[in-house]
Structure 1
């Protein structure tokens, strides 16, 4: 006769199993909110914004449990904006507002007694500085630490005379951040629990250049590059988050969005491989089509080299093409627009603009960026045009938001104007980038699969559950666990 178990014990056993195997689910998703740096009503000249983008592009040559972070910001190039989020560090935890940057690796915050650090800002935030003496969990990073002999960032960390591991991040626009590395707790809140982990980050004691401007003053930068010192790399190496992150930037007037330490999963996502051994998110762009017609350009112009290639960069506001490609692109778009649908053309801040009374979706062509592996990113008119003005007679002026790279730089940069209203997945473990059109004001599905440093599934992670509706399943499983066990 088969042995039997009382129903209560059996149900408790099942509940315990689910509680154990869904531990990671309960800790995710971990997200960062992005907040608008400058209110939507505060406008900025397009030429000023382009200058900021170009300074950033020079840096590309120089520096050869999922967690949600709500975001604020706007893609509109006529609004001075950057994306920032709130992060808690130290014990007791303190809030820091940090600019989100996929083009750099480390997290750094302004240190107490910092020279040149902004003390006020036009943003609706309270500035903070990190004081190691006021955190009970702080520990120094000394010269004997591995970071002082590793190239985490250019230039590599160096040992100071007082046995501190120091750094200087020099930017091509003459701004810089200098300080020393520390280790302390970073906190991430989820729907049903809180978590924390030690993290190595920078404590900057001196800032110069654009980093000290009060109108854009924040507490530091949180980098999401591929380097070992980035937040996603450090936390994933401990098995706390997947080695993948995603973002979804809203393209409406409200702006904002979400950045997730984890993989947003949608059926329509297409992937293309990352080009290996490059510090940025370089892709293999094969060609460009305008209204189904391929531009007659040599594809070698997109080849990845030290001074050219295609890069996805959420820190760049607009999009950029090399000079030769830009001219062909601009001519193809202009030729595809019916003359009778235009009320005139003009140039604003170096950008080609058009007056029309009709909807831009009826007037302007779709553009297709075709990548290795057969993946295409289709740009509708709203994805490359920027509203510039509206006249009294109802005519609206629209400018092309894809710009020409300056000088001899051969980069193709895909910035926020083309990344908005899309899920973008940065799969560092799989060395690929994926995207899909999406309404970023809606909820989304998130993968819960974690891999350990060896590449195998982590203990306590259910790989049979490929995705969950954001937080909902973890919440109800926890309720069942608590009800049956207690």
Structure 2
């Protein structure tokens, strides 16, 4: 997901995407996903395990209408292993169904294709793996190097061409040695549009996506296998950008992650009056924000603002694929010290494997811990409750052990705000306006989603009750014995080891 992306504790599952189209007069639809938490927040998972998973994610960096679209969502649930969000997409004519990771840090939708070298044959999720065959689809066509869409992908390093072939291709190589390569095709993406309370399954749009014919490393393992990755980045090869350029969808998506499990992810703008916005840092391929300061109990911490400045190797990233949150080294110690100083002396503090922890007899941690505020450019503040920066571990002598969920990034000027921080909030990624907004929200409730840009029209989306969501989630739950790499985030800016 972002120029630097991690994955750890609070793991979610994300499944099905269907995109809407209706009348030719005012296209601009939202697309809706219901999210399911891979495992619940603050439930006894060792922080070292979480850091290890996030660290692995960091090493997987890339080197070099009027309608709501339903994306039924499924997810893994294994608190001692790794989960991810994934959804189903239908491609080709006749349509074939593929399970793909949802990754807000990469741009490209790609799926495994026939004759793939290293592609897994089975999945520990007990989902049926499929392979796309361009020759079996009546609407499929290859993308040549001279195609403008290929040229656009080359500008963002999402595509490449060899001197031996006129076929547009890609190679994504990750720091842990895994990777995928293949070629681009154009074909129909099918989706179910929810319009004025009724569901239409006849909508489709032509999109360019990757056909993977080689996979290496962890991508070859069956216990973590899906059919591909669905990139939600902001570059030209992303499906969001492609649908926007066709006038089908606005350049905005939103999510609301429920700490109790579930949530919503939409291609469109969640409408909520309390949302505050801060600008995206310009000319960044990922979702970088200008964090200016951190406050604990209303007091700004003594941290030089340059610690949070964005450069080729520094910055603050919003990343829904990271479970915990990570602070630049210069900000971590002042933050932990301020929180600890605010806790009553009756609370016993302990160190657990290098993490600052607290022994609490009651579960009402809000009675003992301060509010934390992350202050961004434009005057937008993100207020964190104790549950947004603490993780519950085990129990000792009848007392619960709560540990700081923020982790230190040694020697890196990177701050990453993962699911620990993002949960129980609406987040709107307004790519057209180059800004991100948020508001506290009960994500188990319904939301209003803008259905047409600038017209004030909206569709009412009920979290978890859209077509097919429940059946898919329950079917996947029954077969979860494997672990998954979280969203494999493709980065070209930062390499964290």
Same fold (TM over 0.5): yes
Instruction: Report the counterpart of residue 443 of structure 1 in structure 2.
Output: 446
Q: Distance in 1 between matches of 2:102 and 2:187?
A: 20
1:467 counterpart (425, 448, 458): 458
Cα 1:248/1:429, change in 2 over 3 Å: same
Unaligned stretches of 5+ residues in structure 2: 1-21, 463-497
TM-score by length of 2: 0.80
Pairing 1:315-394 to 2, within 5 Å after superposition? 315-342=321-348, 344-348=349-353, 350-358=354-362, 359-391=364-396, 393-394=397-398
**Which stretch of the first structure deviates more once superposed, 282-291 or 149-158?**
149-158
Q: Distance in 2 between matches of 1:174 and 1:411?
A: 23
Query: Cα distance, 1:37 vs. partner?
Result: 6.0
Secondary structure of 1:196's aligned partner: strand
Pairing 1:398-437 to 2, within 5 Å after superposition? 398-406=402-410, 408-437=411-440
Query: Cα distance, 1:389 vs. partner?
Result: 1.3
Query: Cα distance, 1:365 vs. partner?
Result: 1.3
Q: Distance in 1 between matches of 2:40 and 2:305?
A: 40
RMSD: 2.8
Query: Cα distance, 1:300 vs. partner?
Result: 0.6
Cα 1:20/1:280, change in 2 over 3 Å: closer
Instruction: Report the counterpart of residue 204 of structure 2 in structure 1.
Output: 196
Secondary structure of 1:182's aligned partner: strand
Q: Distance in 1 between matches of 2:284 and 2:416?
A: 15
Give a deviation string over 1:81-133, Cα, whole Å, max 9, x none: 21111111111112211111111111111111212222222224222221222
Cα 1:196/1:228, change in 2 over 3 Å: same
Q: Is 1:285 aligned with 2:287? A: no
Instruction: Report the counterpart of residue 214 of structure 1 in structure 2.
Output: 222
Query: Cα distance, 1:467 vs. partner?
Result: 3.0
TM-score by length of 1: 0.82
Q: Is 1:178 aligned with 2:185? A: no
Q: Distance in 2 between matches of 1:116 and 1:61?
A: 19
Q: Is the 8 A contact 1:35 1:85 kept in 2?
A: no
Q: Distance in 2 between matches of 1:48 and 1:88?
A: 35
Give a deviation string over 1:373-408, Cα, whole Å, max 9, x none: 1100111011111121134x43111122111113x3
Instruction: Report the counterpart of residue 97 of structure 1 in structure 2.
Output: 99
Query: Cα distance, 1:52 vs. partner?
Result: 3.4
Instruction: Report the counterpart of residue 304 of structure 2 in structure 1.
Output: 298
Q: Distance in 1 between matches of 2:137 and 2:24?
A: 34
Q: Distance in 2 between matches of 1:35 and 1:118?
A: 25
* Greater RCO structure (CA 8 Å; 6+ sep): 2
Query: Cα distance, 1:73 vs. partner?
Result: 4.7
Q: Distance in 2 between matches of 1:97 and 1:220?
A: 7
Q: Distance in 1 between matches of 2:332 and 2:130?
A: 43
Cα 1:48/1:394, change in 2 over 3 Å: closer
Instruction: Report the counterpart of residue 147 of structure 2 in structure 1.
Output: 145
Q: Is the 8 A contact 1:73 1:256 kept in 2?
A: no
Q: Distance in 1 between matches of 2:173 and 2:226?
A: 18
**Which stretch of the first structure deviates more once superposed, 297-306 or 88-97?**
88-97
Unaligned stretches of 5+ residues in structure 1: 1-18, 451-462, 472-486
Instruction: Report the counterpart of residue 453 of structure 1 in structure 2.
Output: none
